[in-house]
Amino acid sequence: MKTVLITGATGDVGTHLARELAGKYQLRLSDKRPIKAKNFVKADISKMADALRITKGVDAIVHLGGYSVEGPWEGILQANIIGCYNVFEAARRNGVKRIVFPTSNHAVGFYRRDRTIDDHVYPRPDSRYGVSKVFGEALGRLYTDKYGMEMFMIRIGNVNPKPIDRRRLSIWISPRDIAQLVSIGIDRADIKFEIVYGVSGNQRSWYDNSNAERLGYRPQDDSEPYAQEVLAKEKPSGNAIAESYQGGIFCTAEEVPNPAAAQKPAKKAKRK
């Protein structure tokens, strides 16, 4: 059984993947925020020593760790630029060839919603966060071309048990479909460098995901059965830019609430 490191394992996507992939691989879960699990190792990937420690002896890495929305540059720089470099470089030094890198729809979020885009389009990030994902894609390309590492880049839409709004009807991916894609990224022997879209088989998709299909992806889910319920609840936002571009609110917002920050324990009130 392959040993697979998942960084950022306590986040939303990490939690779904840890559950879906348990039993298929020997998982090593890692994050800054500790969880109680026998296979968990605490690490801050903005420190190279930590990145070297957690990547030692694994067959593949699913590098989810980092800042997962738009936010202050300093946070994105540490987690997504320095952190990503450290993980890829640590993998290289430890002889780990295979990395699955969940990049994001926000690497290409400034394409309009009336365009269907494939894996060859030039990046059009919609945020500093999107730029950091383009950095990861470029770093992956370098590490394939220069060092022969094997990179599977998944531009993830939105992982959720159900699609939550109009935009997500086009970019939704179910937990079992993302697990299927990640497994292809870990197991397919002939991968050198690939970009695919992390979406279910949505009828409303903005992506031509034929590269994923070529590599064996057969999505089991489609957002369409949820469409009526989702659309009935949605009110127009009045934000013409957000509604015209694939990245939605990321195209105009300077900050989107960071789920990682929300999980910080609340400060205790001072006793008087």
Could you list the active site residues? 129
What minimum distance in Å lies between the beta carbon of 66 and ligand 15L?
9
| Residue 102: φ, ψ to 5° | -75, 100
Distance of CA 138 to the CA centre of its chain: 15
Which residue is it, tokens 């559950």? 19
Cβ closest to ligand 15L, residue 14 vs residue 149: 14
Cβ closest to ligand 15L, residue 104 vs residue 144: 104
What minimum distance in Å lies between the beta carbon of 204 and ligand 15L?
14
What minimum distance in Å lies between the beta carbon of 259 and ligand 15L?
7
* Contact call for residues 125 and 250 (beta carbons, < 8 A): no
What minimum distance in Å lies between the beta carbon of 171 and ligand 15L?
6
Cβ closest to ligand 15L, residue 98 vs residue 168: 168
Q: Which residues bind ligand 15L (CB under 6 A)?
A: 68-69, 104-106, 158, 168
Distance of CA 96 to the CA centre of its chain: 20
Q: DSSP state, 67?
A: -
Tell me the helix, strand and coil percentages in the chain, rounded to 5.
40, 20, 40
Tokens of 126: 């919609």
What minimum distance in Å lies between the beta carbon of 14 and ligand 15L?
11
Tokens of 209: 């995901």
CA distance 173 to 201: 8
CA distance 206 to 183: 23
Cβ closest to ligand 15L, residue 105 vs residue 209: 105
Tokens of 188: 């397919």
Cβ closest to ligand 15L, residue 149 vs residue 196: 196
